[in-house]
A and B are shown apart, each in its own frame.
Chain A
């Protein structure tokens, strides 16, 4: 080891951490352990509080089911109406086609009669 290296080892000797450092670290660790995510704060800690939430939860579930059922019904009605409209348009189209064919046939007969 050169003289400079020896001086460096002296100059860079370890220093004591500030007083109370380890206590502050352990306190910070405890603090970070205590930090809970937001959704955990919503959940009641005691079972009594949890039971009090049951009716509200049931009501919420029923209301949501009702809303979903209504939405489903409306969607179903819409689908039926759509199917009926398509069928009606199809029938009308077929009838129109038949009538058009008939008109063409009559036209052809008259043309033939005229040529004789």
Chain B
């Protein structure tokens, strides 16, 4: 009987499981993922590093309950996301730079791709917490809507709606900025 890949509720695919790697290997393998989620969400190098370190320490404490390599990835994304949202809510460390507060991008940002990416990153950081995390998980991690819904304990339809709203907001912000730039140039 062939093994069927069936997504379970917690996002672990029962079949297709890899043997559990060692803790050091897991840190090496996933440090970039955890750090990047935290960095794109918080836009603060030291806060992101501290949070990522705490996530791995928590993973070490919960190591006995890890069932597979996939479970570890799911767990890391879930815990990192929740901790990021908690940090922002607790410390009121809002990096919600409104369009007006955002650093003035130069007209070059419309031309040079790396600068556009940096600008877009700042715009993402200006989104409300939940929407920001949804966008990070969707476009940094390339997660499916259902996976995001499982990780953040949300409905799939809510995830879809919130991402759509976030994209609309980003479009509006970009359009507004472009208008400002054109007016400045004129």
Residues of A within 8 A of B (CB): 2, 4-5, 7-18, 21-22, 24-26, 28-29, 32
Contacts and interface: CB of A to CB of B under 8 A. Distances in A.
B56 interface: yes
B31 A25 contact: yes
Interface string B139-153: 110100000000000
B27 A15 contact: no
A18 B45 contact: yes
Q: What is the interface of chain B mostly: helix, strand, loop, or mixed?
A: helix
B142 A7 contact: no
A15 B34 CA distance: 10
A8 B27 contact: no
B31 A17 contact: yes
Interface of B: 23-24, 27-28, 31-36, 39-40, 45, 49, 52-53, 56-57, 60, 113, 116-118, 120-121, 124, 135-136, 139-140, 142, 167, 170-171, 174
Given A22-B24, A25-B57, A12 B32 contact: no
Contact of B52 (A2, A11, A17, A29): A17
A26 to B, nearest CB: 6
10 tightest Cβ-Cβ pairs between the two chains A and B: A11-B117, A11-B120, A12-B140, A17-B31, A17-B35, A8-B139, A14-B36, A25-B56, A22-B27, A12-B139
Contacts of A7: 116-117, 120
